[in-house]
Structure 1
């Protein structure tokens, strides 16, 4: 049923690369078969609730630029009526785009109440409303999460807060959100430590705060098993913003944290392109490392402006970057419970309702082109062939003996002298490999 927000726009369809329709897919055909799987099932697109329907279009130097019919009017408070109007438009948009999933924080979908109990009741009420919308549209929940960073109570962190009552409030909030996520059939639950870090070491006990964070995550994992939630628990790394330093800095840091608290087999990562760049990495580096460490889970697909130096949350538009990213996703075996979540927002000057649709259409086309290029590279062994050749020496009997611990340091040194081992450097062929990638994109 149309809400009127998007006018008379019809559901967006695949029209092929020659189409000049700004609201048509040129490269994303959900039913196209790639490596034996439908493109929709490879990409598992999700639209996020917060940037798409909650963000007012402000920035650090200016306030609201967007006018949405579900935003509270000046001088009036947010209401459940407005929350349901927002949900009506959200599910209309999901249907127009034809995406299989959506994602949300609790604070995105229901207004904050005066008490925790009332806020929880409001979340349950909107979950009932979502359930009907999901049944009507067929749209599913990729993941739910709790906003543990916006309210002033969390200004010094949630799990890492010096006040144990804040820890308790955050724990109760996560429990409520996990209950709703399970009820709505969510395939994952995400924890992002937006303020789990510090602004100054002058008032911070890092060891204490890490232990608090480890205990909090252990409580979440225990509760997951107690209620029979079959989804994946995900942590989303980010190095900074809003804090000076966050404890979930990057994939490597998160893995070290999980190992310290015995959770490396219980929790995986949701990797965001923009956060990878903020940490000084490439997106594909973080994906490859997560795969190597066995904690790859899901991705947030939003980029940063490389000139701005902060988290600008823009829609993807660089096909070569997407090809390298999805190459790593495919190497990891593809998504299981995870997917491609558009944690991206419009520019504050993009005021029209159809800008919301066009942004997602462009991003989905970009991802589709990237994934198809990545699949062709894999099928042709364009990169894996040279990689296998580069490390082929490690397949020898002696190399395997060194690697498996069958040779001591003395034995290795003795062989080097006896056999006059004198290795010659070989080209890494980086430029040739870059040229290969460019042929596919």
Structure 2
């Protein structure tokens, strides 16, 4: 199972999550916190993080630059803070198998990014974002990280009335190309990932879902340089199932990583809950198996404790539950494959295309004149049952 399930702890939710929401104050006060965002506090937090990972038995983690190290008064001071924390993380990695699954730059929380980062209309902000990504790429590489993620966040538009969308998309494409160039310059061998991020908090976006992100990458010649990090909760917010988004990424050769979480179907926001639905986990793992795995990507628990879960023990319970759910999903996929009934049902549904004329169509040689002659020869087609209920029964029987 360990070959298939590369689990990762999300530093920001697990160690920076407060339990606060738009309508309620923070509820969590962890024993290692002192209420400050100081460098000393960042070091204590990083040590707690490594202790948690070692006890949990997980050897991958994901981070934003500003979540692990505090901002300084200048970029030089900020980078120095980050370097100090990264050196500590490097030391803590010694003698373990722990390293980042991926790193990223936090380009949304600071007021300078209120209009976006690479899509900001202010050139100084664009440049600042570039400097921040440069540094984040370098520290991810230094720590042995296997991937680097570009989060959409506020890279979109609340309104198009005051926005030159074409110009901003071109700016963004140039930004991503510069990131590709810097990746190669420093010798970073990891995968660059884009994460579709709908409604956070924008609506006109280049990264609304996998298909939109793929279209953006194609248009600007970036498809060979990026893969997709699919977050299940974001799939829900874009109007899709997680399975739909994973399959769209997989069949286009773009599936690189999964943020293993889920959302509340009655809440129109990114609630980032741990995935505990066995049915959904089985569908997720079916895509992963068909993809031949995710390496060098994995499963990042981009999920947070519920607001009323305030014990340190709850951190362990949540992650263990998430890991067990994905493991059961993988076992279920193995059952389905070994049984073969569902695969055979799918094969039979398309068996008419195994004919000579079907093979011609699938080879792209089915011209309309030839097909019209066949229709006149065959007459009205008899359409067989799709056996939808049987498919559902076969799937549910493996759960």
Global fold match (TM > 0.5) = yes
Matched positions, count = 399
Is the alpha carbon distance of 1:55 and 1:387 closer, same or farther for their aligned partners in structure 2, counting shifts above 3 Å?
same
In structure 1, the residue matched to 2:256 is 297
Q: 1: distance between equivalents of 2:361 and 2:395?
A: 34
Structure 2 spans left out of the alignment, 5+ residues:
none
Is the alpha carbon distance of 1:223 and 1:308 closer, same or farther for their aligned partners in structure 2, counting shifts above 3 Å?
same
Encode CA deviations 1:169-192: one digit per residue, 9 max, x unaligned: 111111101101111111100001
Q: 2: distance between equivalents of 1:247 and 1:405?
A: 31
Q: 2: distance between equivalents of 1:416 and 1:349?
A: 64
Corresponding residue to 1:204 among 152, 155, 163: 163
Encode CA deviations 1:195-235: one digit per residue, 9 max, x unaligned: 00011111111111111111111111121122221111000
Q: 2: distance between equivalents of 1:261 and 1:221?
A: 13
| Counterpart check, 1:425 vs 2:387 | no
Give the secondary-structure state (helix, strand or coil) at the position aligned to 2:341. Answer: coil
Contact 1:303/1:316 (8 A) holds in 2 = yes
Corresponding residue to 1:380 among 325, 333, 339: 339
**Which moves more between the two structures, 131-140 or 214-223?**
131-140
Q: 1: distance between equivalents of 2:302 and 2:66?
A: 16
Q: 2: distance between equivalents of 1:175 and 1:58?
A: 31
Contact 2:37/2:70 (8 A) holds in 1 = yes
Give the secondary-structure state (helix, strand or coil) at the position aligned to 1:233. Answer: strand
Equivalent positions of 1:10-409 (< 5 A) are 39-73=1-35, 77-409=36-368
Offset at 1:421?
4.0
Contact 1:70/1:83 (8 A) holds in 2 = no
In structure 1, the residue matched to 2:395 is 437
Offset at 1:272?
0.6
Q: 2: distance between equivalents of 1:381 and 1:209?
A: 49
Give the secondary-structure state (helix, strand or coil) at the position aligned to 1:362. Answer: helix
**RMSD of equivalent CA atoms:** 1.3
In structure 2, the residue matched to 1:411 is 370
What is the TM-score with the length of structure 1 in the denominator?
0.88
What is the TM-score with the length of structure 2 in the denominator?
0.97
Encode CA deviations 1:311-335: one digit per residue, 9 max, x unaligned: 1111111111100111111111111
Q: 2: distance between equivalents of 1:238 and 1:430?
A: 32
Give the secondary-structure state (helix, strand or coil) at the position aligned to 2:95. Answer: helix
Contact 1:327/1:378 (8 A) holds in 2 = no
Contact 1:239/1:247 (8 A) holds in 2 = no
Q: 2: distance between equivalents of 1:214 and 1:70?
A: 41
Q: 2: distance between equivalents of 1:128 and 1:398?
A: 64
Offset at 1:397?
2.1
Give the secondary-structure state (helix, strand or coil) at the position aligned to 1:345. Answer: coil
**Which moves more between the two structures, 189-198 or 117-126?**
117-126
Give the secondary-structure state (helix, strand or coil) at the position aligned to 2:386. Answer: coil
Give the secondary-structure state (helix, strand or coil) at the position aligned to 2:3. Answer: helix
Give the secondary-structure state (helix, strand or coil) at the position aligned to 2:100. Answer: strand
Structure 1 spans left out of the alignment, 5+ residues:
1-38
Q: 1: distance between equivalents of 2:188 and 2:43?
A: 27
Give the secondary-structure state (helix, strand or coil) at the position aligned to 2:262. Answer: coil
Q: 1: distance between equivalents of 2:291 and 2:341?
A: 17
Contact 2:50/2:92 (8 A) holds in 1 = yes
Q: 2: distance between equivalents of 1:407 and 1:277?
A: 37
Give the secondary-structure state (helix, strand or coil) at the position aligned to 1:136. Answer: coil
Question: Deviating runs (4+, > 6 A) in structure 1?
Answer: none
